[in-house]
Amino acid sequence: MAELYKNYINGKWVEGRSKKTFENRNPANRRDLIGLFPASGPEDVGEAVGAAKKAFAKWRLVPAPKRGEILYRAGELLRQRKEEIARVMTREMGKILKETRGDVQEGIDTAYYAAGEGRRLFGETTPSELPDKFAMSVRVPIGVCGLITPWNFPMAIPTWKLFPALLCGDTVVLKPAEDTPHTAVKLFEILEEAGVPPGVANLVHGTGEEAGAALVRHRDVQLISFTGSTAVGREIAAVCGQNLKRVSLEMGGKNAQIVMEDADLKLALEGALWGAFGTTGQRCTATSRLILHREIKKELTDMLVERAEKIKIGDGLDETTEMGPLINEAARQKVHRYVQIGKEEGARLLTGGAIYEEGRWIHGYFYQPTIFDQVTPAMRIAREEIFGPALSVIEVGSFEEAIEVLNDTRYGLSSSIYTRDVGRAFCALRDIEAGITYINGPTIGAEVHLPFGGVKETGNGHREAGTTVYDIFSEWKSVYIDYSGKLQKAQIDNVE
């Protein structure tokens, strides 16, 4: 009998109003049923938002340092249960244990960082232009925040949003991806144990079309923070714009790694393998384009193919596995369609390009590490986000051409260049159009204390992580205190 999980609303675990459920299965073995989760709808979302709205009145008055202490306890509990949660995460979304442990660690780091901000959360003080008058600015909470998160980082991304929101004094309703609801349950068990009061943090399972859309449209939700596809983000932005609702979007990427002729090729090889095939290519920061200088292209490409063909595919719970499955069959078919598109466009398939169903892996959503050569910047496989283990190799003849090719995309999240030339490195930092640039490192590897986000169609200008995330989840209030005992008129010409 499959275990039945529940929503978490107003401090209680409750069934969905409709009693309808959806299945959560292991993508490495679809015969493995993890559990049943509520297929929530507008009524469930309304109940959760109502609880959050009511709780906001008291939570916003809890001193920020006290809110930070609760988040610190949450971080400690995550640390204690890191291995348990990593295994839950690998079972339900597939990536290898080394990566899910890192996913939990991001949540731990974010909790500790947010706890520290509880004793900072700085405003600014400035001189007034008038005598006997004091001027300053402070942060104030926004209200109820709706958080919609993806499946590829089911602990890191929810905590990137939830912890800063709670620290700022907001209350939240989280709608996690329907592919990874179990990890969200584990997070909320920890929040409850850490002492988050009832109604302050609420969890509603369900699809984006039902629960997600209801959360976006609810009139008492003041802010939506969304991570996912550009297509869905565009729809959310339109709804929020019509209702003058604040919205933070973190969306797609078509990230590239440049390797110049003077690069350390062994180091560049390791970066390309990790960037392209880590998390089975299912990262918004994954390396999907490899831009190689013609002088080293053949040598590095040969090295890359040789290593890619040795990647051990299988269940991420096996410590020796190097690459797990894709999240579901739709994702696998999407990758396979792009492989066919690449062939039709004239790209040369060097390795992979097929569904992987060897031995006992026939019941999982596995795909071979895939590398295309002779890719041009105009090809669809070089322009559209595939979100899988598919890498396009593009040849260039100069540093300037490499930068031009890298920037020739509607996205702008992450980027990388391998070179020993410090001048080129600094020019790349200046000229690459992306929110993140790595020098002699892969396109993946963001740290929680630096801003995370991108330009162009990757987002709408906000940055998560670091101190910048607190600009998403708080409002600025300017405060003037006049102790002169008389009417003073600022912005009036008082010069005698």
- pLDDT of res. 294: 98
Q: What is the pLDDT of residue 491?
A: 79
**Chain Cα centroid distance, residue 300:** 30
Phi/psi zone of residue 374: left (φ > 0), alpha (ψ -120 to 50 degrees), beta?
left
Q: How confident is the model at residue 437 (pLDDT cuts 50, 70, 90)?
A: very high
- Residue 359: the pLDDT is 84
DSSP string, 447-466: -TTS-B--EETTBSS--BST
- Please check the confidence at residue 493 and state whether its pLDDT lies above 70: no
Identify the active-site residue in 145, 168, 284, 464. Answer: 284
pLDDT band at 492 (very low <50, low <70, confident <90, very high): confident
* Active-site annotation holder among 92, 99, 250, 385: 250
309 alpha carbon, distance to own chain's centre: 29
Residue-wise pLDDT tens digits, 193-230: 999 999 999 999 999 999 999 999 999 999 999 999 99
- pLDDT value of residue 155: 98
Choose the weakest-confidence range: 127-136, 303-312, 357-366, 401-410: 357-366
The stretch 23-39 carries a mean pLDDT of: 98
Q: What is the pLDDT of residues 245-303, one digit of tens each?
A: 999 999 999 999 999 999 999 999 999 999 999 999 999 999 999 999 999 999 999 99
CB 164 within 8 Å of CB 116: no
Each residue's pLDDT tens digit, 120-165: 999 999 999 999 999 999 999 999 999 999 999 999 999 999 999 9
Residue 496 has pLDDT above 80, yes or no: no
What pLDDT is attached to residue 495?
A: 60
Going by DSSP bridges, is the β-strand pair 171-175/133-141 parallel, antiparallel, or unpaired? Answer: unpaired
Q: Which tokens in the block code for residue 291?
A: 């831009």
For residue 358, pLDDT beyond 90: no
Q: SS3 for 394?
A: strand
* CA 445 centroid distance within chain: 12
Residue 322 has a CB neighbour count (10 Å cut-off) of 17
* 168 catalytic per annotation: no
pLDDT band, very low/low/confident/very high, at 2 (cuts 50, 70, 90): confident
Q: Residue 360 and residue 482: Cα distance in Å, rounded?
A: 75
User: Do you know the residue count of the chain?
Assistant: 496
Please report, rounded to a whole number, the percentage of residues in the chain having pLDDT higher than 70: 99
Is the pLDDT at 1 greater than 80, yes or no?
A: no
β-pair type (455-456, 411-412):
antiparallel
Q: How far apart are CA 249 and CA 405, in angstroms?
A: 25
Residue 284 annotated in active site: yes
Rounded-to-integer distance, Cα 149 and Cα 225, Å:
8
Determine the pLDDT at residue 191: 98
User: In the numeric block, which tokens belong to residue 72?
Assistant: 């610190």
Distance CA 363, CA 28 (A): 7
Mean pLDDT of the chain, nearest integer: 97
The residue type of 329 is E
